[in-house]
Amino acid sequence: MVTREEARQRVKRLLWLGLGLYAVYWLLPKETYPAELRNANFVVPEVTYSLEDPGEGSNETWIEVVSWSPRAFVVHNWITDEEASHIVEEGTKTLERSQVVDRKTGEFKDSKVRTSSGTFLPRYGTRELANLQERSALLLGYPVFNGEPTQVLRYSPREQYRPHYDWLSYLEPGETQRAVTILSYLSEVEEGGETNFPYGKLHRDFTEAHRAEGRATAPPFRETKCVAQSAPMSVGKTMRRPSKWNSVRPKKNSALVFWDLDPACVYKEVAALHEGCPVISGEKWSTTIWSRTQPIYVTRESMQNYQQKMQEFLPESVSLGDHVVNWGFTRLKWFQWRPKRY
């Protein structure tokens, strides 16, 4: 039986708790960003696409399901010829031998596993890069600042990236995980250069459609140098044998989108193991944007740089002033939901 005095004390504690929560809310930084641009992109207002093939000759962006394990899709007509040429031109200026991350130390190192050349370009380095970053964010429903800087890769004949995961084995304190990969193809490849999921399971419609067009990824239609893996692996409740035919051929101006984590961004997707198969003939250019579970590489200095670049892309009637720096830094640093485990 609760006495009147005990009830009074409980009510008093609840009131003090409410006042304390209100005080914390009052002290937290508030958005100072212009209301008309709040939570909006700066260069690309929206992205439209179809879920059905519009037919030959159409430039309409449409999405084709590749697999549900892992979740993978091809976005056709994702970029234009002009954008592809521009990104290749920008990437050529700073190409270096690609490296891999040491799982134990987190340091970058050369490896026979990865023999391509690559570089990173800033999110808002040019209007074309900004366009690609913001379209990718809209497609995924993630903020732009969750995306890493744009990586540009070049694969010459016999160059490859053997089976690997995109999610990070080594995370710095406070660093968040890669959730989604957007791999855009910037050139046509004469032969080879597929992206293969050794333990994936291609959707039946995808396999049948490409076999009917003479572009299937299984013999005897074409040659491949994919290596896959040598041992079966448990995926969900089933054991899967590796295959070098669960692959997507590179097609200029299209993009391959696949999830590195489960939809809730809690567990790593084991079926997302993939490889960049060796180029047999020609040259393969691609660009990769990894979207993380939380904003990445956000500092006051970087926000000031973004502010200057964004202003170049906006109409003269819109002035950002210090809003981008104040809003971006405080909002992205304070309000972060973090998954419990990866």
CA atoms within 13 A on the CB side of 16: 6
pLDDT band at 235 (very low <50, low <70, confident <90, very high): confident
pLDDT band at 160 (very low <50, low <70, confident <90, very high): very high
Q: Please return the burial class of 21, using the count of CB atoms within 10 Å of its CB with bins 0-12, 13-18 and 19+.
A: exposed
The answer, yes or no, to whether the previous bond of 54 is cis (omega within 30 of 0) is no
Give the per-residue pLDDT at 315.
54
Q: What is the mean pLDDT of the chain?
A: 80
Q: What is the rounded average pLDDT of the residues 208-216?
A: 61
Count CB atoms within 10 A of the CB of residue 82. Answer: 9
In SS3 terms, the chain reads as CCCHHHHHHHHHHHHHHHHHHHHHHHHCCCCCCCHHHCCCCCCCCCCCCECCCCCCCCCCCEEEEEEEECEEEEEECCCCHHHHHHHHHHHHCCCEECCEECCCCCCEECECCECCEEEEECCCCCHHHHHHHHHHHHHHCCCHHHECCEEEEEECECCCEEEECCCCCCCCCCCCCEEEEEEEECCCCCEECCEECCCCEECHHHHHHHHHCCCCCCCCCCCCCCCCCCCCEEECCEEECCCCCCEECCCCCCEEEEECECCCCCCECHHHCEEECCEEECCEEEEEEEEECCCCCCCHHHHHHHHHHHHHHCCCCCCCCCHHHHHHHHHHHHCCCCCCCC
Give the per-residue pLDDT at 218.
44
Q: What is the rounded average pLDDT of the residues 10-36?
A: 71
Kindly tell me if the per-residue pLDDT of 338 is higher than 60: no
Among 265, 266, 304, 255, which Cα is nearest to 133's?
A: 255
pLDDT band at 327 (very low <50, low <70, confident <90, very high): very low
| Between 319 and 89, the higher pLDDT residue | 89
Lowest mean pLDDT among 60-64, 133-137, 144-148: 144-148
Among 295, 309, 315, which Cα is nearest to 37's?
A: 315
Kindly tell me if the per-residue pLDDT of 341 is higher than 60: no
List domains and CATH numbers for the chain. 55-298 (2.60.120.620)
> What does each C-alpha distance from 60 to 55, 79, 203 come to in angstroms?
9, 11, 23
Kindly tell me if the per-residue pLDDT of 141 is higher than 60: yes
Give the separation between CA 325 and CA 32, rounded to whole angstroms.
10
> What does each C-alpha distance from 49 to 53, 76, 132 come to in angstroms?
10, 9, 15
Q: Are strands 178-185 and 284-292 parallel, antiparallel or unpaired?
A: antiparallel
The tokens 């010459």 sit on which residue?
156
pLDDT band at 285 (very low <50, low <70, confident <90, very high): very high
pLDDT band at 100 (very low <50, low <70, confident <90, very high): confident
Give the DSSP H or E segment for 287.
Answer: strand 284-292
pLDDT band at 310 (very low <50, low <70, confident <90, very high): low
Portion of the chain with pLDDT greater than 90, in percent: 39
